[in-house]
Amino acid sequence: MNISLDRRQFIKLIAATGAIAQTACSRPPPETILPYVHMPERMLPGAPEYYATAFVQHGYAIGVLIESNMGRPIKIEGNPHHPASRGATNTFAQASILQLWDPDRSRSVRRDGIVSTWSEWLSAISSISVEAQKNRGAGLRILTGNITSPTLLAQLQQLKIQFPNLHWHTYEPLHNDNASAGATLAFGKPLDVIYRIERANVIVTLDADFLSHGPAATIYAREFAARRRPDHAAGMNRVYALECSPGLLGTVADHRIPLSPAELERAAWQLAELIEGNTINDAPNWLQQIALDLNRHRGESLIIAGPRLPPSLHALAHSLNERLNNSQHTIQYIAPVVPPQNASLQELVSAMSDGGVDTLFILNNNAVYQAPAALEFSAALKHVRCSIHAGFYVDETARQCQWHVPLAHTYEQWSDARAYDGTATIVQPLIAPLYGGTSPHEILNRLLGNESRSAYDTVRAYWRSLRSENFDAFWQSVLQRGVIADSAFPSQTVVARPVEKSRALNDASLTAIFAADPAVDDGEYSNNGWLQELPRPLSAMTWDNAALMSVATARRYNVNNGDIVELQHNGRRLQTPVWIVPGHADRAITLPLGYGRWAAGNSGNGVGFNAYALRPVDSSWFIDGIQLRKLGTRYSFALTQTQTDSADRKPVLHATLTELRAQPEFVRIDTEKNSGAGSLYPEYSYDNYKWGMTIDLSACIGCNACTIACQAENNIPVVGKNEVARGRHMHWIRVDHYFEGSKEDESAQKNPTVLYQPVPCMHCERAPCEEVCPVGATMHDSEGLNVQVYNRCVGTRFCSNNCPYKVRRFNFLQYADRERESLKAQRNPEVTVRQRGVMEKCTYCLQRITRGRIEAEKRGTPLRDGEIVTACQAVCPTQAIAFGNLNDGDSAVARAQHSSRNYTLLEELNTKPRTTYLAKISNPNASISAQLSKPEPRDA
């Protein structure tokens, strides 16, 4: 181990997660922006303000409130008024604030790779515009990702009118083309689908992880979790997850059936038959039971096809939902939020190679990296006379283009965007562009010939054209609420045609499945230290991706975790380490996209392997007949959790719904042997407030949003792969996962039950950590919080040894960069930045409690329940976390702790934790045995 090297790498990392000194002299934007209505209108020094805007991912908006402290955006919260958020966000939204402050962002116009000036660029684009006016846009093309921004779409329309010969291409690596094609098959026109998850009693998903992917994932997770609580008025739902690649949904479903794509396709068609009432002799029992269950719940069931599946299966799902009378009940159809794309990337590439492209605008798109290698995009790009890239980073595409123009971050510019249901939000800037930077609106304006028009005017003009009558009141209200009232698309009544049975997928010995990565998505977030260090679900892997495969597949190829294999398809090779995921479908491997970048920035470069190298030209999701060869070399991963077997210690108590009914107090059985152990110690009384937390394990879906929200709120440093590998990650709240499958039972091990458990500080009444601290650096405060006094800590680490939950984190080195001015700008000013050699841990967001208490004291009334929300609680899409005052009997947390499912972790140690858990309840179909028999693949 070479320390000095470690040190340097790690400084690099810090640099990457920070920003540079310009930020110190950044201003609020020139235009008037309005604070969130519920907050005081004037800026109090130190008092944060919240601004409603939108986080935009793949074109879709998630409404957020950004906490701005003295003009510095520092924390993202969900916007309760926004349909895609309702107060929660996903991990990417949380990390986007770090992207805003990323020092690796592009800072200057570049021409042929050399720093140029804005004026040069402006003259260049005006000449392009002039020329386009002459030849009406011949040879002029634009490449973008998904666009939902009404203003931008309007501008593009105008472009097409002005320049009829112009072509507009869109490319999204995580495209939804199959779904819209399927809709066209079923309804004759592309439609977006909105699921009413909360209304569904039985849900069958076909390779559809609606908890992780798609613009509505956050809100679907909330609706899903609402029905996972046994005390829900409508009872628990039941979920059958047929998966090709393990996702969050499968791990929390009542039945997870791993199937290779071809197997899944066959199962889907068999299911259709069974629903029709036909009998199929070779259909496995579980499939017949699913069909029965669906028929039993007509109008309140739901079949969801995932984006990876061929159009035929989407069409099938539509017709089945029709058949089951679900449409308009549990499922609704709206006009596509992203207008059907005009031209594809493939067409662009062929046009480019034919020399038919004269000028190419690449707006906020990294095609050079994200396009399938087979498409040879960058080679074709060389034939373009004038290529212009506008983006946040000088990324792979920027380096291949003649011009690069820095774009302002979403939180630095005026725009608008629509949510999954069409609801529009005005995107307002929180801060003037840190590094200059323009916006797509302004670029298009210049292309259209009206140079001076700012994005602000463009957006206002667009909406004025719609809401002319007292526009200013409208404008003020939409800025303050963060949503434009009744802008959602109306639900359409459509009838799905029956679809012809067809097989699109072939059985293969090994099928590769491309997947969005839970941390870096399609690669857009590769340079984000928070996300890179966020443990990936089911593997707890950080700073890496790997070829994921099942136990059986690994055995078949005689590979183990960390073995490097070479994948080959159509002459394209890819070397990647292997990671075994219990519950993965056999005969298939998952290749997460978004890694192996070479121009991402200090954090993202060279991390993981680039799965785009194997992707076929049409960017399809499956490739069958892929060759796997073991190379004999090894690779080491950095995991935050190495042990997934609970060693019979039952940290997560769980039962089925029927067991719960039979024995409501079942959690006591496990704990009675040691519960109620007496104590020699006096009872301290906490008369004023008595803070406590409860985490509902039935609701937790293991998405890790709490971990990253905590990191953002509490200035938790990023330590890098080497330190993580040495067991020094700093997360204050971790999400443990355990695989539960009896050792004897082979198939149970292949497809184990997955148990999630978020573990923050337990804030024990009898804190073992406090007893052993020689200097009293950790102690109880008057509200019973177990507080850590950083400036008193000498770093004996005895407290961590004595913490049975191991929730304490230690600054073994100077992890937090305390010199760089810009980092101070990015950090939460209410939270101490920790020095090397001190212990730290979850504080229940003490700063938020204090702020709330002060507000209450100013008010002169006691705090109301729900007035103080911890960062993890706020972000949680499933509202699994309850926090509040235990002295207030009506508080959510007090009620939760009186639930029969309430139990404390390691109760036998008598530490009397303030944090408790609600046992996980599942609702399996009794007539399906635990071991699911899988259909053997046969050629249809």
Partner 1 sequence: MLEQLTTHARDAEQKNKRWSYASISDHIADIVLRKNFGWRWWLLLGISSAGTLIFFGAIAYLFSVGVGIWGIDIPVAWGFAIGNFVWWIGIGHAGTFISAVLLLLRQRWRTSINRFAEAMTLFAASIAGLFPILHLGRPWFFYWLLPYPDVMNVWPQWRSPLVWDFFAISTYITVSLLFWYVGLIPDLATLRDRAHGTRAQIIYGLFALGWRGDAIHWARFEQAYLLLAGLATPLVVSVHSIVSLDFAIGNTPGYHSTIFPPYFVAGALFSGFAMVLTLAIPLRHYFHLEQFITPVHLNNAAKVLLATGAIVTYGYASEIFMAFYSDDPYERYVAINRATGPYAPVYWTMLCCNVALPQLLWFKRVRHSIATLFAISLVINIGMWLERMMIVITSLHRDFLPSAWGMFWPTRWDWIIFFGSVALFVFLFLMFIRLLPAISIFEMRQLGHAAESSQ
Partner 2 sequence: MNSRYGLLAEFRRPDELMNAARALHAAGYRRVHAYTPYPVEELAQALGYRGNRISVFAFIGGVVGGIGGYFLQWYAAVVDYPINYGGRPLHSWPAFIPVTFELTILGAALFTVIGMLVLNDLPRLHHPLFSVKEFDLASRNRFFLCVENNDPLFDNEGTLTALEQCKPCAVCQVPL
Considering only residues 718 to 777 of the shown chain, the ones binding partner 1 according to CB under 8 A are: 723, 726-728, 734, 736-738, 757, 759, 768, 770-776
Q: Count other C-beta atoms under 10 Å from residue 729's C-beta.
A: 24
Minimum CB distance to partner 2, residue 439 (Å): 55
Residue of 201, 811, 878, 891 interacting with partner 1 (CB under 8 A): 811
* Per-residue tokens: 395: 């990324």
Pick between residue 427 and residue 759 the one whose CB is nearest to partner 1: 759
Partner whose binding site includes residue 909, from partner 2, partner 1, none (CB under 5 to 8 Å by kind): partner 1
Report the amino acid identity of residue 499: V
Considering only residues 848 to 907 of the shown chain, the ones binding partner 1 according to CB under 8 A are: 905-906
Minimum CB distance to partner 2, residue 624 (Å): 60
Q: Tell me, by CB under 8 A, how many residues bind partner 2.
A: 16
Considering only residues 780 to 799 of the shown chain, the ones binding partner 1 according to CB under 8 A are: 792-798
Half-sphere exposure of 870 (CA within 13 A, CB side): 32
Minimum CB distance to partner 1, residue 905 (Å): 8
Say if CB 690 and CB 765 are below 8 A apart.
no
Q: Residue 693: enclosing H or E segment and its boundaries?
A: strand 691-696
Q: Can you tell me which residue has the tokens 């399938």?
A: 372
Residue of 471, 474, 635, 812 interacting with partner 1 (CB under 8 A): 812
Instruction: Give the bridge partners for 258, in sequence order.
Output: 243
| Residue 118 binds partner 2, judged by CB under 8 A | no
Pick between residue 598 and residue 681 the one whose CB is nearest to partner 2: 681
Pick between residue 356 and residue 795 the one whose CB is nearest to partner 1: 795
CA distance 620 to 569: 14
Partner whose binding site includes residue 796, from partner 2, partner 1, none (CB under 5 to 8 Å by kind): partner 1
| Residue 809 binds partner 1, judged by CB under 8 A | yes
**What is the pattern of x (binds partner 1, CB under 8 A) and - over residues 612-651?**
-----------------------------xxxxxxxxx-x
**What is the pattern of x (binds partner 1, CB under 8 A) and - over residues 313-332?**
--------------------
**What is the pattern of x (binds partner 2, CB under 8 A) and - over residues 334-373?**
----------------------------------------
Pick between residue 102 and residue 770 the one whose CB is nearest to partner 2: 770
Considering only residues 332 to 351 of the shown chain, the ones binding partner 1 according to CB under 8 A are: none
Pick between residue 598 and residue 684 the one whose CB is nearest to partner 2: 684
* Per-residue tokens: 913: 């934790």
Buried-exposed string 756-769: b where 16+ CB fall within 10 A, e elsewhere = bbbbbbbbbbebbb
Minimum CB distance to partner 2, residue 767 (Å): 4
| Residue 810 binds partner 1, judged by CB under 8 A | yes
| Residue 680 binds partner 1, judged by CB under 8 A | no
CA distance 852 to 843: 15
Residue of 9, 480, 835, 847 interacting with partner 1 (CB under 8 A): 835
Q: Count other C-beta atoms under 10 Å from residue 339's C-beta.
A: 15
Pick between residue 233 and residue 647 the one whose CB is nearest to partner 1: 647
* Strand bridging mode 547-549 / 572-580: parallel
| Residue 562 binds partner 1, judged by CB under 8 A | no
CA distance 929 to 87: 39
Pick between residue 240 and residue 805 the one whose CB is nearest to partner 1: 805
Residue of 153, 617, 779, 906 interacting with partner 2 (CB under 8 A): 779
What's the helix, strand, coil split of the chain in %, to 5? 30, 20, 50
The CA-atom distances, in angstroms, between 480 and each of 34, 57, 79, 125, 748 are: 6, 22, 11, 36, 52
Partner whose binding site includes residue 765, from partner 1, partner 2, none (CB under 5 to 8 Å by kind): partner 2
Would you put residue 41 in left (φ > 0), alpha (ψ -120 to 50) or beta? alpha
Say if CB 461 and CB 441 are below 8 A apart.
no
Say if CB 458 and CB 155 are below 8 A apart.
yes
Report the amino acid identity of residue 31: E
CA distance 522 to 595: 8
**What is the pattern of x (binds partner 2, CB under 8 A) and - over residues 640-679?**
----------------------------------------
CA distance 22 to 406: 15
Residue of 374, 773, 845, 882 interacting with partner 2 (CB under 8 A): 773
Helix, coil or strand: residue 468: coil
Minimum CB distance to partner 1, residue 55 (Å): 31
Q: If 0-12 CB within 10 Å is exposed, 13-18 middle and 19+ buried, where does residue 859 land?
A: exposed
Partner whose binding site includes residue 767, from partner 1, partner 2, none (CB under 5 to 8 Å by kind): partner 2
**What is the pattern of x (binds partner 1, CB under 8 A) and - over residues 271-300?**
------------------------------
Minimum CB distance to partner 1, residue 636 (Å): 12
Q: Tell me, by CB under 8 A, how many residues bind partner 1.
A: 59
Crossing angle (nearest 10°) for helices 150-162 and 455-466: 90
Which DSSP symbol is given to 806?
-
* Per-residue tokens: 767: 């804190």
| Residue 706 binds partner 2, judged by CB under 8 A | no
Pick between residue 500 and residue 683 the one whose CB is nearest to partner 2: 683
Q: Which of 805, 685, 806, 654 is nearest to 252 (CA)?
A: 654
Q: What is the 3-state secondary structure (H, E, C) of 128-144?
A: HHHHHHHHCCCCEEEEE
| Residue 794 binds partner 2, judged by CB under 8 A | no
| Residue 907 binds partner 2, judged by CB under 8 A | no
| Residue 800 binds partner 1, judged by CB under 8 A | yes
| Residue 801 binds partner 1, judged by CB under 8 A | yes
Minimum CB distance to partner 1, residue 772 (Å): 5
Pick between residue 25 and residue 647 the one whose CB is nearest to partner 1: 647
Say if CB 805 and CB 867 are below 8 A apart.
no
| Residue 382 binds partner 1, judged by CB under 8 A | no
Partner whose binding site includes residue 684, from partner 1, partner 2, none (CB under 5 to 8 Å by kind): partner 2
CA distance 605 to 532: 11
| Residue 838 binds partner 1, judged by CB under 8 A | yes
- CA dihedral (176, 177, 183, 189) in degrees, to 10, reads 120
Considering only residues 906 to 925 of the shown chain, the ones binding partner 1 according to CB under 8 A are: 906, 909
Pick between residue 720 and residue 784 the one whose CB is nearest to partner 2: 784
Residue of 682, 774, 860, 889 interacting with partner 2 (CB under 8 A): 682
Considering only residues 742 to 771 of the shown chain, the ones binding partner 2 according to CB under 8 A are: 764-771
| Residue 886 binds partner 2, judged by CB under 8 A | no
Considering only residues 164 to 223 of the shown chain, the ones binding partner 2 according to CB under 8 A are: none
Say if CB 363 and CB 144 are below 8 A apart.
yes
Helix, coil or strand: residue 264: helix
CA distance 107 to 109: 7
CA distance 216 to 237: 19
* Per-residue tokens: 884: 């509040």
* Per-residue tokens: 101: 């402050």
Stretch that binds partner 2, among 359-367, 603-611, 681-689, 865-873 (CB under 8 A): 681-689
Q: What are phi and psi of 583, to 5 degrees?
A: 100, -5
Q: If 0-12 CB within 10 Å is exposed, 13-18 middle and 19+ buried, where does residue 668 land?
A: middle
Would you put residue 76 in left (φ > 0), alpha (ψ -120 to 50) or beta? beta
CA distance 932 to 751: 9
Could you list the residues that contact partner 1 (CB under 8 A)? Answer: 1, 3, 7, 641-649, 651, 723, 726-728, 734, 736-738, 757, 759, 768, 770-776, 792-798, 800-802, 804-806, 808-814, 835-839, 905-906, 909
Could you list the residues that contact partner 2 (CB under 8 A)? Answer: 681-682, 684, 764-771, 773, 776, 779-780, 912
